[in-house]
Amino acid sequence: MKTIQAYRFALDLTAGQEREVLAHAGAARVAHNWALARVKAVMDQRTAERSYGVPDKLLTPSLPWSLAGLRKAWNTAKPEVAPWWGEVSKEAFNSGLDALARGLKHWTDSRNGARAGRPVRFPRFKSRRRTTPSVRFTTGAIRVEPDRMHVVLPRLGRLKLHESARKLARRLDNGTARTMSATVRRDGGRWRVSFTAEVDRAERVPARPASVVGVDVGIKNLAVLSTGELVDNPRHLAAAQQRMRALGRALSRKTGPDRRTGRRASRRWERAAARLGRVHARVANLRRDGLHKLTTRLATTHGTVVVEDLNVTGMLANRKLARRIADAGFAEIRRQLAYKTGWNGGRLLVADRWYPSSKTCSGCGTVKTKLFLAERAFTCEACGLLIDRDRNAALNLAALAADAGTAGSGPVAGRGADQKTRVRGQVAVKRQPGTTSVDQTGTVPLQGRTIDRVLTQAY
């Protein structure tokens, strides 16, 4: 199975090498800003000409937004715009132009309805001081040295790694990977290089192919599995909060930048900001490491993993829980499981967003109309089951695997739940296989089996 995979390694650059990398990142920013200014100028000119009644055939020719079109325009103008262009690699300018071309395409697709998700804004100019330095190489000498502690990049030469690149080097030596690009980027005060490679992964099978596990993510426990395991939430952000507050107060006492007056930040402010940035980077690294270990263990152990389609954006609107939800990384867990289950021969099932996993009794199937967040134990009034709220939700998610045979590749129909549960009265409901929505006769769908139970549902 061939897939696109990234390998990221920390770098130990000398002062001279860091200046070279910054020069390449600056060249990418110059090309991006120049092309964006040209695009905006042409758009404004054509808009003005249309307001004067100029026919479309006589309008100023538009500038192509593709990478090839932007590169052609840049090559024509670079002797005047950047007479120093020969001092850096051509890949630096190509990196900035490619970023602009992708940004323009995303903006166009978002306006035309071809791109899902939030509306994409029009590309903005990149600032020298606020933009993260980054440059991408796609051609030229890109390789890992035999000692696996150095890499070679175009014009930058031989760069020392902070850690061994043996994982990527083994695949390159065996012929199971092909390097496509390399990106150098400064993140959290440290320079890193990311290799994008086409990897030929061997077919794998989970340790327990027939095992089904439901994963209910939360704040108290990062994940509660249907097997009964509780994954503790390390709360890295909360642990570093006291240190961040102290550094934030120290930063506020320094002379910072002011965009209104054009005042530049003092050296002490820059050093204080760097200290605070390193703490944030450490929290992000700890969180990333924990999530990778959890998702890798689930994907390599169980054949089927069932999660919920959570509205994380809506959950972050709760100002009392937003920080803890963001610290847990709910969306990242699902994103990692999506590709890791495919790598290891398993499958990931996503329950419908409106499926009441916490309100449904895992024993008899009765659905509660109300279950407040403060109620951490689920008590079923029909069968008398008393169980932890999160464990009950995980068991219900695991039970959905039996219904996934006809659910397709999208979210599993959450046992017929296609809208939020509301309190308006109780009706007797009979579940029948093959149906897909709640109808006026009281039929609730369940793909693959028939269950008679009493539900409280709004009609």
Kindly list the catalytic residues.
216, 308, 390
Residues 6+ apart with CB under 8 A from 135: 21, 24, 25, 27, 28, 91, 92, 95, 183, 184, 185
What contacts 24+ positions apart, CB below 8 Å, involve 328-334? 328/217, 328/218, 328/219, 328/222, 328/233, 329/287, 329/291, 330/217, 332/288, 332/291, 333/215, 333/217, 333/223, 333/291, 333/294, 333/295, 333/307, 334/307, 334/310
| Residue 377, strand partner residues | 388
Phi–psi pair at 379, nearest 5 degrees? -120, 120
Q: Could you tell me the two tokens for 361?
A: 């009794």
Q: Is 142 helix (H, G, I), strand (E, B) or coil?
A: coil
Report the candidate in 433, 12, 340 with the shortest Cα–Cα distance to residue 184.
12
d(CA 291, CA 223): 10
Q: Could you tell me the two tokens for 396?
A: 């219900």
Name the H helices within 113-223: 166-174
DSSP E strands, 163-225: 177-187, 190-200, 208-217, 221-225
Q: Could you tell me the two tokens for 257?
A: 């930048």
d(CA 298, CA 387): 23
| 52-70: b (≥16 Cβ within 10 Å) or e | eeeeeeeeeeebebebeeb
Residue 122 Rama label (left phi>0; alpha psi -120 to 50; beta): beta
Residues 6+ apart with CB under 8 A from 318: 325
Q: Is 198 helix (H, G, I), strand (E, B) or coil?
A: strand
Residues 6+ apart with CB under 8 A from 404: 304, 349, 412, 447
DSSP E strands, 237-373: 302-308, 347-351
Whether the Cβ atoms of residue 159 and residue 151 lie closer than 8 Å to each other: yes
